[in-house]
Structure formats: structure tokens, C-alpha cells
Amino acid sequence: MTAVSRPTPRPSPETSHFWEACQEGRFLLPKCADCGSHWFPPSGFCPECWSRNWEWEHASGLGLLHTFVIFRRQYHPAFEPPYAVGVVHLKEGPRMLSRIVTEDIDKLRVGMALKLTWDRSGDWMIPAFQVL
Amino acid sequence: MAHQKVAAEMTNPNRALRGKYAIVGVGQSDLGQVPGFSSLGLLNKAMHNAVEDAGLAKTDVNGIICRGPDDVYTHHQRMGELLGIDAEFSTTLDNGGASQILSIILAVMAIDAGLCDVVLCGYGRDSWSRTHRDTSTRMSVPLVPPEQERAEFNAEVGMFGAVAMHALGASRHMALYGTSKDDLGSIAVAFREHALRNPSAQMKQPLTLEKYHSGRQIVDPFNVYDCSLVTDGAGAVVVCSAERAKDLKQPPVLISGFGTFNNLRGWYYDEHMTDTAARRSGEKAFSMAGIQPEDIDTAQLYDCFTYMVLTQLEDYGFCKKGEGGPFAASGALALDGSLPCNTSGGQLSEGHVEGMLQILEGVRQLRHAYQSERQVTNAEWALVSGHGGNTVCHSSLILQRGGG
């Protein structure tokens, strides 16, 4: 059996800096210099006030588990079930999809406090979240 | 609630269109495992049947609006070629499961604008044949299609498929409101009971709540019975003016209300998973039709998954937010319940044709086309819903029995 590798990130011109920072262990979010909003996924304009005046900011890596699912059926040969995927409500405001890393998958609950960890996949560092 | 007040005070600008147009013909292909037909072939058959049902001829049709299938470019052009029709107005829509009602709305708009008179709307897909027709196909088709493998911020964390996307919503609803697996199961059981009365339905075996709970888990909290079917099938309708409908073969079914709303900021944004675009789409449709949820005699709701029915029951105002579970579990969705729902079996048990069959069933119920064991008694008003496009697009249709 040849091991099938996981799908790797497919950075776009707007997201490549986010992924480059991830490879150095830095978790960045775009932050609007005019209205103060953070957003995700990264894009060239603030989706709240449409400002073009924004910068990358180090995010806290803290969040809450907005909701989650547990894959019981194997969809992809590189992802062995069971595993959890959740929507993380980041402390800065945006929400992002993430692997939820936990020792006991059956104890996951909506609303749990989470913190950033790194999921190494081949040459990539992918943001993931673990129960705080 | 502020939004309800605003909706009530607003004079719906579409009211001038209320009841001005009608669905005069419906048609479908065989459903389920239908070898020997491509997506286009299935839709061709459904469109032929719809025009014949209306008592119209090919030469009467001068508009074609299609949805997909996903991999056929400019689909309406292919259909026009197969049907042998040059059209005054034609296009293909891309709003997922919300497209089929949207095609009817667009047909009304196009006719009202004087662009055409008689429009064929339809959708078909050879979904079962593509992936399940024989062992080698089953073995060779990847569970994760290439476009999902490339989806940034999804594939690299192991997020695949519509089941998981909708399961995220169900999981949150369960946490916020105490919705249970019994509640979800009661929806699957109710629709299966309806399918058993429908000879064309794909599912032929009874489903009990006990059997539901024994279903193979796919993505928690969904098991196989929470998920709609893989279906070869197509459906089509004919839309024209209510005036013209008077002279046609079938009792006309009037298009009395419609609405759309699209939560394009995403499924994860705000409370979009548990307060879906059905709410504002429905408010517009009810406002246009000038009726309330309690006036609806039968609801044909987009049931790609059990949970989507549950949240729509709340979002359309058939019960309060958070009470969709107990409402469904009370038996309300049965043929003799307070809101007979998906009376042909729905996508969970009749067949998944992206909402097209829901429209057909709404029309047939209002025609009083069935014997008593399938007929909603004295059905006057039907609500039909469409949902899709990565879970955030919604369209609503309110139909009224005409000719009264």
C-alpha cells in the first residue's frame, strides 16, 4: 500500500502570505486599520467597511467551538476516521474551519474554549485547534 | 420581532404579480436507477411529459430555463437543441438546490417583461448511474471529487461533502435548543411513510424510529437515514399566464407568492446555520401571497438532510425557533397531521432531484390529483422551498389552487 498524502493548501494570491506565516508558526489575520475588524479568509478589502487600508496582525490563537462534526465514514484515504472538524469562533471575531485535536473525541461540546496548535502535514504547517 | 414588523408593514412590490401566472404542466422521468439515460436524456423526457401534461405543443414553448447538471456548460442550449426549440428567452441557473424555484420566479419575470409567453423549467441528473451503476464504477469513483480536493481552507483540514456541512448546523441546533436524534429521526420516518404510498418512490421499505437509530453513521450527528438519496431523475414544469391557463388541459395552479434570500456571508457567519435564509425568503413569499404560515395546507420542503426540514419549519414560522424538533416529533408532518410535509416522500425517500419533485408534488396536491390515501384533504395552499448553493441560498414558492 502506498500512503496517500493529504490534500495540501492551495494558496491564492490573497492567501499566500497567510500560509507563508503558518510555515514559520505564525497565525495571522487581516485587520482593518479603519474600522478595526478582523476577517477570514484573507482578502484584499475589508468586508465590513470596504477599506483597502489594512494590515496583517498576530492573532491570539484563542477561540470557542462554534460547532463541530465527527467524520465516522472515510471520505479521503489520508483521513482516517473518526476525526473531528469544527468551526472555531476566533477571539478576534472571524470564524474558521479547523481540525479539532482532542484525546477524547466523544467529549467535545459546542462552546468549549480552544487554543491554536499546529497540524503537520508533509511539508506544511496547518492551523488546528485543541481543547484548552 | 423587529424584522416581522418591518415585513408586515412593507407593501410587497411583487403583489401585482400575485396569481397572475400559473404552473400548467408538470412532468418527470423515471426515478432511482434509470440506466440508459444521461442527465440531458432524463430532462428531455421530463420536459416532454410536462408539455404533454399541459396540453400544449412544442411550438407553444418559447422559453427554457435550466439548472445544471454541474458539468454541462450552457445547459439550456443543449436542451433547446434536443427539444428542437429556438427560444425567445433561455438561460441556465447556478444557485444549487435553490435554482428550481428561482427558475419559476425568473420565468414569471421574463413573461411579465414581455420576453416570452410559455416557459419550460427543469432539472435532471443521472446521479445514481454516475457513481453506482456497476461494481467497477463504484470502485473507481472517488468519494472526494477533484474540486473538493482543491478547496482551500476545507480539504487540508479533512472537510469534505455536503453531509458534513449540514451536520455542522444540526450539531449547533442540538447544542442550542436540545434538539435530539429522535427529532431528526421523526422526519425521516414521516417521509418514508409518505414514500410507501408513492409507487414511483425509490424507497420501498418501512422505516421505524428504531431502525433509524441503527443506521450507519456517516458524519455525526447524521447517519445514513438523515441523508437524501442518490437518484437518476428529472423534473420539469410549464409556466404561463393564469389567463392562458384557463383554456388548458389541467386545473391551473397559481403562483401566488415567491421570495429569495441568500446568506452569502456564509454558513459559519452569524447564526446562519440555525436561522437560515429560509426565514427572509419566506417572509417575502408570505407577504406577496397575503397569507400566513397557518394558512398553508401542505409544505414541500427541501430535505437534502433531515435537519434542513427541522430548521425550515422554524424559519418559515410554522413553530418557534428551537421548537422544530418537538413539532416534527409530534406527528405534524404526517399526511393527516397539522402540516402534511413532503407528501411524496421527499428527497429522503422519494428521490433527490434538487427540489424539482417538491414543486411537482405541490402542484399535484393542489390539483387534487390523488386518491384519498395520498391526497391532502381540501388542499388550497402549498409552500415549496429550495435550498442550496453551499447551504446559503434559498428560494420560496407559494402556490394556490386555481379556478375556484
Which cell numbers in the block locate residue B163?
453531509
A–B interface: beta-carbon pairs under 8 A? 94
CA-CA distance, B395 to B241, in Å (whole number)?
21
Looking at the structure, tell me whether residues A101 and A127 fall in a common domain. Answer: yes
User: Which chain A residues are within 8 Å of B161, Cβ to Cβ?
Assistant: 75
CA-CA distance, B156 to B5, in Å (whole number)?
44
pLDDT 10s digits, B217-248: 999 999 999 999 999 999 999 999 999 999 99
pLDDT 10s digits, B312-353: 999 999 999 999 999 999 999 999 999 999 999 999 999 999
Residue B121 phi/psi, 5-degree rounding, is -120, 140
Q: Are A36 and A53 in contact (CB under 8 A)?
A: no
Q: What band does A1 get if pLDDT is binned at 50, 70 and 90?
A: very low
Domain range for B60 is 16-130+232-245
Which cell numbers in the block locate residue A4?
496517500
User: Residue A130 carries which DSSP code?
Assistant: E
A109 lies within 8 A of chain B by CB? yes
Which of A43, A87, A89 best probes binding to B when mutated, by most B CB atoms within 10 angstroms? A87
Q: Which of B30, B36, B39 is nearest to B67 (CA)?
A: B39
Tell me whether residue A44 is in a domain: yes
User: Residue B341 carries which DSSP code?
Assistant: B
SS3 per residue for B220-284: ECEEHHHECCCCEEEEEEEEEEHHHHCCCCCCCEEEEEEEEEECCCCCCCCCCCCCCCHHHHHHH
B252 lies within 8 A of chain A by CB? no
Tell me whether residue B217 is in a domain: no
Looking at the structure, tell me whether residues A106 and A78 fall in a common domain. Answer: yes
Tell me whether residue B307 is in a domain: no
Total domains, chain B: 1
Closest partner CB to B152 (pick from A10, A79, A95): A10
Q: What band does A2 get if pLDDT is binned at 50, 70 and 90?
A: low
Q: What is the pLDDT of residue A5?
A: 87
Which B residues in the span 220-249 are in contact with A, Cβ-Cβ below 8 Å? 220-221
H/E segment holding residue B81: helix B75-83
Q: Are B214 and B359 in contact (CB under 8 A)?
A: no
Looking at the structure, tell me whether residues A51 and A66 fall in a common domain. Answer: no
Tell me which of A43, A59, A75 is where a domain ends. A59
Q: What is the pLDDT of residue B7?
A: 52
Tell me whether residue A84 is in a domain: yes
Looking at the structure, tell me whether residues A40 and A69 fall in a common domain. Answer: no
Which of A69, A89, A117 best probes binding to B when mutated, by most B CB atoms within 10 angstroms? A69
Tell me whether residue A55 is in a domain: yes
Q: Do A66 and B172 touch (CB under 8 A)?
A: yes
CA-CA distance, B234 to B302, in Å (whole number)?
16
User: Which chain A residues are within 8 Å of B273, Cβ to Cβ?
Assistant: 67
Q: What is the pLDDT of residue B230?
A: 95
Looking at the structure, tell me whether residues A128 and A67 fall in a common domain. Answer: yes
CA atoms within 13 A on the CB side of A28: 22
Model confidence at A44: pLDDT above 90:
yes
pLDDT 10s digits, B173-212: 999 999 999 999 999 999 999 999 999 999 999 999 999 9
Kindly give, in sequence order, each residue whose CB lies less than 8 Å from that of residue B340, ignoring residues fewer than 6 positions away: B297, B298, B299, B333, B334, B376
Tell me whether residue B361 is in a domain: no
Q: How many CB atoms lie within 10 A of CB B69?
A: 20
Kindly give, in sequence order, each residue whose CB lies less than 8 Å from that of residue B179, ignoring residues fewer than 6 positions away: B170, B173, B310, B322, B324, B325
Mean pLDDT of B78-95: 95
- In the sheet that holds B21-28, the strands lie side by side as B89-93, B63-67, B119-126, B232-241, B21-28, B253-262, B393-401, B381-388, B298-300
User: Which chain B residues are within 8 Å of A85, Cβ to Cβ?
Assistant: 157-159, 164
Tell me which of A24, A41, A59 is where a domain ends. A59
A27 lies within 8 A of chain B by CB? no
CA atoms within 13 A on the CB side of A55: 4
User: Which chain B residues are within 8 Å of A12, Cβ to Cβ?
Assistant: 152
Looking at the structure, tell me whether residues A77 and A32 fall in a common domain. Answer: no
Burial B15-47 (b: 16+ CB within 10 A, else e): eebbbbbbbbbbbbbbbbebeebbbbbbbbbbb
Q: Are A73 and B218 in contact (CB under 8 A)?
A: yes
Tell me whether residue B204 is in a domain: no
Domain range for A36 is 14-59
Looking at the structure, tell me whether residues A33 and A54 fall in a common domain. Answer: yes
Q: What is the CATH number of the domain that holds A82?
A: 2.40.50.840
pLDDT 10s digits, A50-79: 999 999 999 999 999 999 999 999 999 999
Looking at the structure, tell me whether residues A64 and A54 fall in a common domain. Answer: no
Closest partner CB to A67 (pick from B143, B172, B219): B172
Tell me whether residue B136 is in a domain: no
ipTM above 0.95, yes or no: yes
Task: Measure B19 CA to nearest chain A CA, in Å.
Answer: 39
Q: What band does B4 get if pLDDT is binned at 50, 70 and 90?
A: low
Looking at the structure, tell me whether residues A75 and A123 fall in a common domain. Answer: yes
Tell me whether residue B51 is in a domain: yes
Q: Do B157 and A119 touch (CB under 8 A)?
A: yes
Q: Are B317 and B282 in contact (CB under 8 A)?
A: yes
Total domains, chain A: 2
B321 lies within 8 A of chain A by CB? no
Find cell 384557463 and name the residue: B246
Q: What is the CATH number of the domain that holds B31?
A: 3.40.47.10
Which cell numbers in the block locate residue B255?
403562483
DSSP string, B25-50: EEEE---BS-TT--HHHHHHHHHHHH
Mean pLDDT of B3-23: 74
Q: Which of B359, B342, B346 is nearest to B298 (CA)?
A: B342
Q: Are A102 and A130 in contact (CB under 8 A)?
A: yes
B131 lies within 8 A of chain A by CB? no
Model confidence at B1: pLDDT above 50:
no
Tell me whether residue A9 is in a domain: no
CA-CA distance, B385 to B398, in Å (whole number)?
9
Task: Share the mean pLDDT of chain B.
Answer: 94
User: Which chain A residues are within 8 Å of B175, Cβ to Cβ?
Assistant: 67, 109-111
Q: Is the C-alpha dihedral spanning A41, A46, A52, A55 positive or negative?
A: negative
Q: Do B158 and A79 touch (CB under 8 A)?
A: yes
Looking at the structure, tell me whether residues A91 and A119 fall in a common domain. Answer: yes
Q: Is B197 exposed, middle or buried (0-12, 13-18, 19+ CB in 10 A)?
A: middle
Looking at the structure, tell me whether residues A69 and A130 fall in a common domain. Answer: yes
Looking at the structure, tell me whether residues A51 and A102 fall in a common domain. Answer: no
User: Which chain A residues are within 8 Å of B143, Cβ to Cβ?
Assistant: 74-76
Distances (CA, A) of A128 to A56, B194, B270, B378: 19, 44, 22, 55
pLDDT 10s digits, A80-119: 999 999 999 999 999 999 999 999 999 999 999 999 999 9
